[in-house]
Amino acid sequence: MKTLFTLAMCLAAAPALARENYALLIGANQYPSLEERWWLKGPANDVQLVATYLTTEAPVPFPKDHVAVLSDGVTGAAAPTLQAIRGAFAELTAEVKPGDFVYLHFSGHGTQAPALDPATELDGLDELFLPVDIGPWSDAVGEVQNALVDDEIGRLIDGLRAKGANVWAVFDSCHSGTATRAVESAEDDVRVRQLPPEALGIDVDAAEVSRSVDPRATEAPFDAGEGEGSFVAFFAAQTNEVTPEKNLPKGKPGRKPQGVFTWTLMEVLAEYPNATYGQVAQEVLRRYAVKNLAKSTPLFEGDLDQVVFGGEGGARVSQWSAEVTEAGFTIPAGELHGLAVGDVLAVMGSAAAADNEALGYVELTSVETFSATGQAVEKDGKVLPAELPKGVTLRKLDAALDFTLTVALPAAGSGPAEALLAALGELQEAAGPRLSFVAADQEADLRLAVLPESPRPDAIWVLPSTGLAEDLGATPSVSTGDKDGAELASVLADTLTTMARAQNLLKLAGAVGASNPEVEVELLTRTPEDRTLRPLPFAPVPTLVPDDEVHVLARNNGAEPVDVNVLYIGADWSISHWFSGRLQPGDELKKGLFKISADVLGQERMLVVVTPAKPQRPVEDLSYLAQGALDVSRAVGRSAFGETLAEAGFGETTRGAVALSDDADEAGPGPAILTLELRTVAGD
């Protein structure tokens, strides 16, 4: 599959469809047959968030009476029992007609059980979604009472497709994997949406079937067969991973428990409502990496080249019509659209006006999930005139990037934590101004924790913002028993700054996006067994094994030269620089980059950085960003974007935020960063 730098989201418009749009939203929270510690809090909030988006923001109309909600904890909604779910599907199937669109959303617990037909599952296990009225596992019938088995979900979806309906199903649950909640808080704000099979009395180990399976193969938790209508499915995690719910949005007073996957998906849809499913998938993956919310890798299946909701393609939404009153400006966009209190938006006389034609500026004073209000402010010497034209628009301009990283300290009380806290002053000095340390109960990008039950009980572990410890083999840690305070501070500071540099590159990639329609990039792979080069998909995330090769094919279809750099961020947070060079108009780059090694396996990312080349500047060479390399001084001729890249790698500037662009730069296509997510696993 050839891939253009596509996040400009500028697609050819598709003809409007004469159709109806329906949604069924299922949120299972409290399970009476289970201990309360297994109950969830976020699914009810998920379905309410999705319902509001569909009925107010979606690019195709979802009438309120076409959106059915089954969720405990939601006023007016029926409980999501197995019978209620089957009944809702039956009503929906009877209602839909050819060409109609159906959105399905499942938030709640998942688990696995021995498959009724082991031949249909790679691992001999069925994936289950758990309604609130589940019972225990029954050896007599070989199933969990009232569970919704993957095969039945497939049949229910097939029933809709057989009527000619197009279906998009989203599953914010997980079915296997393990995670330890290493960071406790009074709010109990992180829960995992995976019920261990043993909680239902299931002996999974006794049921697993050993088969010779290509480790590159990815099995979707749920599947649908053939049908007249199309089918796309988004899953919060692979079948061997977990997915969390967490109080969101970050930093918001009164934030609510939400599924991390649901919230992130709705964020992307709010900003890119006219994207393809594949483009939405890529942006979700980027945000997972940038925000460090979860270690899981969402899975995407189906025809990902279609526009979401079967709508029409269009550009990213970054401006909104404003209602102007004596009290200020109000827009129908908020936290879900990436806005925050203090953001400054440009006031435009028309939606088509250029940025430099701004009439003035508005600073947001209040931001809710779907709305925001603001007041006029003076900026760059410009004051908003008293008389404004009708129909003004507020536009979100390029924001400065914050390259600081907030790290939560471990809770006091253990030997390793006390050793670190005693060396905190030395740690802060060694880490520098880009790392900010906060108390254990504060929000943070990374969390330091002590895991007494781990293989290294004396170590300080570095965890994601959720505080969930998953694959400890791929989780950084620093031992304390063999170090004095100065040594502990030095090693931990080096670990954190190494992670921060890689994180900053991903943050920059997410902010810049991949919009450069004049440069076509295709990533290819081949195996030792098959030397034919085949395209690597950008969604779903490709899985590679040791000795698989990755190649790049780039073409400059524009009229101006561009510089191309390829960086690789390994699962161990290493940064490798694979290529830098200039492509003149019409040039084509064909290069074998690397092959997967067996040393470190896990989540890895390749960044293809494209920057406009100016005649007076040397080739943009980003080799200095490689971990361990010296930051070579190249002050002469570096572009504004090059300076930003240097700061991402901890350049000499100490300020935390760096602008993405410079008004002095010449007009033309801007820089672009294409991100390819990879999962590397062991071979047979």
Between residues 14 and 86, the one the model is more confident about: 86
Strand, helix or coil for residue 155:
helix
pLDDT at 124: 64
CATH number (1.20.120, 2.120.10, 3.40.50, 1.10.8) of 405-498 reads: 3.40.50
> What mean pLDDT comes out for the span 439-455?
90
Query: How many residues are present in the chain?
Result: 684
Which letter, b or e, does each residue of 436-474 get, where b requires 16 or more Cβ atoms within 10 Å of its Cβ? ebeebeeebbbbbbbbeebebebbbbbbbbbbbbbbeee
pLDDT at 290 over 70: yes
The mean pLDDT value for 431-436 works out to 90
Q: For position 325, what pLDDT does the model report?
A: 87
The average pLDDT across 62-74 equals: 97
List the beta strands (DSSP E) in 295-352. 299-302, 319-321, 323-325, 328-331, 344-348
51 Rama class: left (phi>0) / alpha (psi -120 to 50) / beta: alpha
* Nearest in space to 177 (alpha carbons), one of 191, 196, 204: 196
* Separation CA 632–CA 622 (nearest Å): 10
CB atoms closer than 10 angstroms to residue 375? 13
Say which residues have a Cβ less than 8 Å from residue 190's Cβ, sequence separation at least 6: 181, 183, 244, 245, 246, 466, 467, 468
pLDDT value of position 471: 76
pLDDT tens across 319-347, in order?
Answer: 999 999 888 999 999 999 989 899 999 99
Q: Which residues contact 468 (CB under 8 A, 6 or more apart)?
A: 179, 180, 181, 182, 190, 192, 242, 244, 294, 295
The reported pLDDT for the residue numbered 288 is 85
Contact 414, 452 (CB under 8 A): yes
Q: Determine the pLDDT at residue 584.
A: 92
The reply to whether 405-498 shares the fold of 21-310 is yes
Specify the CATH number of the domain 21-310: 3.40.50.1460
Query: What is the per-residue pLDDT across 653-678, written as a single tens digit (0 to 9) for each?
Result: 433 344 444 433 444 567 888 888 88
Query: What mean pLDDT is predicted for residues 28-39?
Result: 93
Given a cut of 50, whether residue 292 has pLDDT beyond it is yes
Strand partners, 569: 575, 605
Nearest to 481 by CA among 461, 459, 462, 496: 459
Q: What is the pLDDT of residues 97-151, one digit of tens each?
A: 999 999 999 999 988 887 766 555 555 678 889 999 999 887 766 788 999 998 8
- Rounded to whole angstroms, what are the CA distances from 366 to 188, 320, 328, 341, 369? 27, 16, 11, 6, 10
pLDDT of amino acid 120: 57
Query: Which of 17-31, 211-225, 384-398 has the least mean pLDDT?
Result: 211-225
639 three-state secondary structure: coil
Mean pLDDT of 419-430: 95
pLDDT tens string 568-610: 888 778 888 888 999 999 999 888 877 888 777 778 888 889 9
Q: Are 275 and 307 in contact (CB under 8 A)?
A: yes
- Determine phi and psi for 401, rounding to 5 degrees: -90, 135
Do residues 683 and 545 lie in contact, with contact meaning Cβ atoms separated by under 8 Å? yes
pLDDT of residue 253: 75
For residue 434, which of 385, 488, 500, 490 has the smallest C-alpha distance?
500
At 621-630, the pLDDT tens digits run 888 888 744 3
Q: Which residues of 135-155 are buried (b: 16+ CB within 10 A; e: fewer)?
A: eebeeeeebbebbbbbbbbbe
User: CA dist 618 to 302, 615, 665, Å?
Assistant: 44, 8, 15
At residue 648 the predicted structure's pLDDT band, cuts being 50, 70 and 90, is confident
pLDDT-derived band of residue 7, with 50, 70 and 90 as boundaries?
A: very low
570-574 contact pairs (CB < 8 A, 24+)? 570/600, 570/604, 571/474, 571/600, 571/601, 571/602, 571/603, 571/604, 571/680, 572/474, 572/600, 573/476, 573/498, 573/499, 573/502, 573/627, 574/498, 574/502, 574/600, 574/627
pLDDT > 60? residue 315? yes
Q: State the average pLDDT over residues 526-530.
A: 90
Q: Which two tokens stand for residue 164?
A: 């000619």
Instruction: Tell me which residue of 169, 148, 147, 149 sits closest to 157, measured CA to CA.
Output: 169
Tens of pLDDT along 463-476? 888 888 777 877 88
Closest CA to 537 of 60, 42, 3, 167: 3
Share above pLDDT 70 across residues of the chain, in percent, rounded to a whole number: 84
Judged against a pLDDT cut of 90, whether residue 437 lies above it is answered with yes
Question: Do residues 306 and 276 lie in contact, with contact meaning Cβ atoms separated by under 8 Å?
Answer: yes
DSSP string, 546-579: TT-EEEEEEEE-SSS-EEEEEEEE-TTS-EEEEE
pLDDT attached to residue 403: 84
As a whole number of angstroms, the distance between CA 118 and CA 417 comes to 47
> In 3D, which of 612, 34, 510 has the Cα closest to residue 291?
510
pLDDT value for 665: 43
pLDDT-derived band at 499, boundaries 50, 70, 90: confident
Determine which of 183-192, 400-409, 469-478 has the lowest per-residue pLDDT on average: 183-192
| Domain spans, the chain | 21-310, 323-391, 405-498, 513-680
Of the CA atoms within 13 Å of residue 451, those in its CB half-sphere come to 26
C-alpha distances in angstroms, 16 versus 97, 161, 278? 16, 20, 21
